[in-house]
Amino acid sequence: MSITSFPEGFVWGVSTSAFQIEGATAADGRRPSIWDVFSADRAEACDHYHRYPEDVRLMKELGMAAYRFSVSWARIFPDGGGKPNAAGLDFYDRLLDEVTGAGITPYATLYHWDLPQALEERGGWPSRDTAARFAEYAAAVHERLGDRVDTWFTLNEPWVAAFLGYGSGVHAPGRKSPADAFRAAHHMLLGHGLAAQALRAGGAQKVGLVLNISPVMTPAQVSDFGRELSEEDAAAVARIDALANRQFLEPALRGAYPAELLPVIERHGGLGHLHDGDLETIAQPLDLLGVNYYTPLVVQAQPSEPADPAYPGSEGVLFCTIPTAVTAMGWPIVPNCLSLLLGRISREYPGLDLMITENGADFVDVVTGDGIHDVDRISFIEEHLRALRAAIDDGARVRGYLVWTLLDNLEWSDGYQRKFGLVHVDFATQRRRMKDSALWYRDVVSRNGLAETRPRRPTLETVAARAGVSRATVSRVVNGESSVSPEVRAGVMRAVKELGYVPNLAARSLVTRRTNAVALVLSVPRQGGDTLTSAVVQYVTSLLEGAGKQITLMLADTAESHRRIAAHVEARLADGVVLLPPDRGDTLAERLSRTEVPLVLLGKPPIASLVPYVDVDNAGGAAAATEHLLARGRRRIGMVCGPMDLVTVQDRLAGHRAALQRSGLTPHLAPADDLTRASGAAAALRLLTDVPSLDAVFAATDQLAIGVLQAARELGRRVPEDLAVVGFDDVDAASATTPALTTVRVPVADQALALARLLLSRLEGRHTTSVVLPTRLVVRDSA
Ligand code: FCB
């Protein structure tokens, strides 16, 4: 097997941060940080504070050489100042013993966004004093842990902390003031400088800073970076680059703010907070620049556009969506940008050592009996590693790569729904399970490189990364366009051959635009799917239009319309098809799947096929509903089912049966003729008359459950005292019944998003599998 190997001594590892994993927010004297106050209900996280031995063991099993963690300031100085809290330091002492004992090199970050609330109350980062407090904190932590930590990162992503925390207010502490945001940014930089001095005075070996550096470009540049820009677009790109990147890079590495930024800062609260000598303090020698890369920033000039609150001074700049696949977070996946940005930093700051301190992706994970097959995450990391390798070949001094992140965790304002981990965490039990990506990464680490012969189709992206050119260039070569120089052409053809790349329709269409439309086929009528259908229309349209596709909306309601749709797709008038099949009797999916045009379905089809679909975990949701009734002491549980030929109904029934069986109980079933309330009421009347001793009813949908409530009223049964009732779907009406309905929530927007994302991935020739989204029990009054 041939291997794309990395330089000898290349450091592989993972990154985490304190607030996102530790939990134990009141343990051993810790007091609240701004994040505890900002998102009060989320304290437990991964309970890493108590489970760190297991987490370190996982890293050891994965062969990690490096672990970047962050120290919680609020554990060390719970009130912001005074004497350091010994019990807080003790935790990191234990953690470091464990980490170094496992042969893993620790990298410490001092500030990963969790300012002690006590300091926020004294003005937070907009106050200059916070910078001095930060340096004291750095010194105290170094004094206790410096014997085991060589590399100290002062700040993590100060742009995010300053501009989302104090500018747009979507992060803690939630202030919305451009002036505060600029002041916070400056004081963070000052804190970095002062802390760097304190660390060095204490004898620290290496001091670094972690920045989220986002390449900034126009939509057209994403596939063709060399493209010339209009003056207006060039100015828009430069402005956002100054705000997002150069605002931090230049003071830290050159001791100056970008000249064009100063008037912008001045307009937002003045320059009074920039004191003489600050920039010298900030520009401390840096041993290592940590680079966090996820996605580029794509902008263009748009005169009427108001400023984005996260980028004060961005009037006249539009933030754009672009033609590419995205992660579940909605972030465009553009691995080439990693090479681009490393090349840029290496050119602008020659001699600087770099480390990728974060890179990773949120995807919807499906837990199956035989593991978590997160192929999307593997592709994401692999493609970024190829881009990284290309940058190293071009001379970037990148010393290591750390995946964000070890564990599924608390993703700031987004809570627990985001899944960035190599390791899955079940937050109900705190059980950890390695995903396929963890095992795959373990192999990468152990061979210090990527295997060339992974049985996966190489993409346009892979060829571009290998040949060190843009996707558009590959596309041009593949399409035999003459505008490419012979050297570049030879390089691309070599990469194509080595990787065994087979161009697909999407690759060709990138340049030729031979087909540029996606068909969105809606079957009518569909039972009770109105909100879902409209969400699908909305998401599919916006995501795919953002990707440069036109949407052809087609209604499949008659045999004639089926014929027309099939002819349309067979004639290749669509790049891809999103199909919302009818509830029963679908023949279109089968027919369309024979055309080789990428197809994705909403809902699991009745007959197993290779066409990927998006569905919710119907069986799991029904089992959870039934288990809830059991946990409330109900033992004689009936079920009002819908028509048994509906796949959804079959799955919900299967989950219900399985849960009863585990408790040694037998089901009592009443099928309804359709999914209307009236049919639900009729089925429930039959059921409760036949088996009067029932003390609970689970209904396959909320509409049926509302019918059950009606029937219960007619029979004089009190809900929930005599009869507990649970529905499914969490439709709007479910919270308006008396008593309000306990039900199972299905994620509507996520299904729509997943469907759009699945088609985009297929259009890009990525490997895709069906997506089954988790459901959640919503407990109200009826059970
Ligand atoms: C970065 C943060 C990290 C995590 C990832 C997804 O901006 O540093 O804590 O939230 O994004």
CA dihedral 485, 488, 489, 493 (to 10 degrees): 180
C-beta 212 within 6 A of ligand 1 = yes
d(CA 636, CA 723): 10
> Does the CB atom of residue 157 touch ligand 1 within 6 A?
yes
What is the CA(104)–ligand 1 centre distance, in A? 22
Examine the pLDDT at 159 and tell me if it is beyond 80.
Answer: yes
**CA gap 473, 487 in Å, rounded:** 12
- Decide: 210 in ligand 1 pocket, CB within 6 A: no
Q: Give me ligand 1 centre to Cα 69, in Å.
A: 12
Which residue puts its alpha carbon closest to atom 10 of ligand 1?
Answer: 411
Neighbours of 319 (CB within 10 A): 16
Q: What spacing in Å lies between the alpha carbon of 152 and ligand 1's midpoint?
A: 18
Average pLDDT over residues 517-523: 90
Pocket lining: 111 vs ligand 1, CB cutoff 6 Å: no
Which pairing describes strands 599-602 and 613-616: parallel, antiparallel, or unpaired? parallel
* 3-state SS, one letter per residue, for 502-521: CCCHHHHHHHHCCCCEEEEE
How remote is the CA of residue 179 from the centroid of ligand 1, in Å?
24
Ligand 1 nearest-atom number relative to CA 160: 7
Q: Which ligand 1 atom minimizes the distance to the CA of 157?
A: 8
Distances (CA, A) of 461 to 11, 295, 768: 25, 15, 16
**CA angle, residues 208, 213, 218, in degrees to nearest 5:** 165
Report, as an integer, the average pLDDT of 406-426.
94
Nearest to 207, CA basis, from 113, 141, 129: 141
Find tokens 């219900």 and name the residue: 656
- Which atom of ligand 1 sits closest to the CA of residue 412? 10
More confident residue, 529 or 754: 754
CA 92 – ligand 1 centroid, Å: 21
Question: What whole-number distance in Å separates Cα of residue 311 and Cα of residue 240?
Answer: 7
Q: What is the mean pLDDT of residues 437-448?
A: 97
Q: State which of 333, 404, 420, 422 you would mutate to test the pocket of ligand 1, scoring each by most atoms of that ligand within 8 A of its C-beta.
A: 404
Q: Which of 69, 329, 358 to mutate to test the pocket of ligand 1 (most atoms within 8 A of CB)?
A: 358
Q: How many CB atoms sit inside 10 A of residue 318's CB?
A: 17
Give the ligand 1 atom nearest the CA of 418.
Answer: 6
Judged by DSSP in three states, 219 sits in helix
Does residue 17 line the site of ligand 1, with CB under 6 A?
A: yes
Q: Which ligand 1 atom minimizes the distance to the CA of 411?
A: 10
Nearest CA to ligand 1 atom 9: 17
- Considering 69-73, 526-530, 536-540, the range whose residues carry the highest mean pLDDT is 69-73
Q: Is the CB of 358 under 6 A from ligand 1?
A: yes
Most confident of 31-35, 527-531, 551-555: 31-35
Q: Is 470 in the pocket of ligand 1 (CB under 6 A)?
A: no
Is 120 marked active-site? no
From the list 588, 430, 600, 575, the residue with the least C-alpha distance to 513 is: 575
Statement: residue 326 has pLDDT above 70: yes
Ligand 1 touching residue 153 (CB < 6 A): no
- Closest to 730 (Cα-Cα) out of 711, 756, 705: 705
Q: What is the pTM of this model?
A: 0.67
- The CA distance from 443 to 455, in Å, is 15
Cβ 291 under 6 angstroms from ligand 1: no
Q: Which atom of ligand 1 is nearest to the CA of 420?
A: 6
Q: For the CA atoms of the chain, what is the radius of gyration?
A: 28
Q: Is the CB of 70 under 6 A from ligand 1?
A: no
Question: 411 CB under 6 A from ligand 1?
Answer: yes
Indicate if ligand 1 lies below 6 Å from the C-beta of 292. yes
Burial 482-518 (b: 16+ CB within 10 A, else e): eebeeebbebbbebbeebebebbbbbbbbbeeebeeb
Q: Which of 358, 383, 461, 627 is catalytic?
A: 358
362 CB within 6 A, ligand 1: no
589 SS3 class: helix
Taking the CA of residue 17 as reference, the ligand 1 atom at the shortest distance is: 9
Which residue out of 16, 114, 157, 410 has the highest number of ligand 1 atoms within 8 Å of its CB and is therefore the one to mutate? Answer: 157
**DSSP per-residue letters across 82-151:** SS--HHHHHHHHHHHHHHHHTT-EEEEEEESS--BHHHHHTT-TTSTHHHHHHHHHHHHHHHHHTTT--E
Strand order through the sheet with 517-523: 550-556, 517-523, 576-580, 599-602, 613-616, 771-773
Residue 370 has pLDDT above 50, yes or no: yes
- Around 607, how many Cα atoms within 13 Å sit in the side-chain half-sphere? 8
Distance from Cα 747 to the centre of ligand 1, integer Å: 24
Ligand 1 neighbour 409 (Cβ under 6 A): no
What's the rounded Cα separation, in Å, for the pair 471 and 474?
Answer: 5
**Whether residue 514 has pLDDT greater than 60:** no
Instruction: Give distance in angstroms: CA of 113 to centre of ligand 1.
Output: 10
Q: Is 411 labeled as catalytic in the residue annotation? A: no
Using one digit for the tens of pLDDT, what is the confidence trace for 224-256? 888 899 999 999 999 999 999 999 999 999 999
171-212 tens-digit pLDDT: 999 999 999 999 999 999 999 999 999 999 999 999 999 999
Report how far ligand 1's centroid is from the alpha carbon of 420 (Å). 9
Decide: 509 in ligand 1 pocket, CB within 6 A: no
Instruction: Please give the helix or strand (H or E) that residue 637 lies within, else none.
Output: strand 637-641
Of the candidate ranges 262-266, 582-586, 754-758, 767-771, the one whose mean pLDDT is the lowest = 767-771
Ligand 1: does its nearest atom lie under 6 Å from the Cβ of 357? no
Q: How far apart are CA 391 and CA 394, in angstroms?
A: 5
Mutate to test the pocket of ligand 1, among 15, 357, 411, 413 (most ligand atoms within 8 A of CB): 411
Name which residue leads in pLDDT, 525 or 524: 524
Express each pLDDT in 489-498 by its tens digit. 888 888 877 7
Q: Would you call 14 helix, strand, or coil by DSSP?
A: strand
List the catalytic residue out of 120, 157, 382, 764: 157
Task: Provide the pairing of β-strand 398-404 with 11-15.
Answer: parallel
Distance 206 CA to ligand 1 centre (A): 23
DSSP character for 549?
P
Distance 423 CA to ligand 1 centre (A): 16
Distance 114 CA to ligand 1 centre (A): 13
- Would you say residue 481 has pLDDT above 70? no
Q: Is the CB of 533 under 6 A from ligand 1?
A: no
The pLDDT mean for the chain works out to 91
Instruction: For strands 398-404 and 423-426, give the pairing.
Output: unpaired
Distance 738 CA to ligand 1 centre (A): 43
Q: At what angle do helices 460-467 and 336-348 cross, to 10 degrees?
A: 20
* CA-proximal residue: ligand 1, atom 5 (nearest): 404
Measured in Å, residue 270 CA sits from the centre of ligand 1 at: 30
| pLDDT value at residue 513 | 41
- pLDDT of 512 reads 41
DSSP per residue, 274-312:
--TTHHHHH----SEEEEE-S--EEEEE-TTPPPPTTST
Does the pLDDT of residue 119 top 60, yes or no?
A: yes
**Can you name the residues that pair with 197 across neighbouring β-strands?**
none
**Centre of ligand 1 from the C-alpha of residue 444, in Å:** 23
Determine how many CB atoms are found less than 10 A away from the CB of residue 274.
17
The predicted structure's pLDDT at residue 40: 67
pLDDT band at 645 (very low <50, low <70, confident <90, very high): confident
pLDDT value at 480 more than 90: no
pLDDT for 116 beyond 90: yes
Residue 413 beta carbon below 6 angstroms from any ligand 1 atom: no
State phi, psi for 383 to the nearest 5 degrees: -65, -35
Q: Is 49 in the pocket of ligand 1 (CB under 6 A)?
A: no
How many residues does the structure list for the chain?
Answer: 783
pLDDT at 506: 43
What is the atom index within ligand 1 of the atom nearest the CA of 212? Answer: 7
Q: pLDDT tens digit string along 680-701? A: 999 999 999 999 999 999 999 9
pLDDT, average across residues 44-72: 98
Residue 89 Ramachandran class (φ > 0 left, ψ -120 to 50 alpha, else beta): alpha
Q: Tell me if 780 sits within 8 A of 751, measured CB to CB.
A: no
Q: How confident is the model at residue 2 (pLDDT cuts 50, 70, 90)?
A: low
Q: What is the pLDDT averaged over residues 624-638?
A: 96
* Res 629 pLDDT > 70: yes
- pLDDT one-digit tens code per residue, 5-50: 999 999 999 999 999 999 999 999 999 999 999 986 667 999 999 9
For atom 4 of ligand 1, which residue has the closest CA? 411
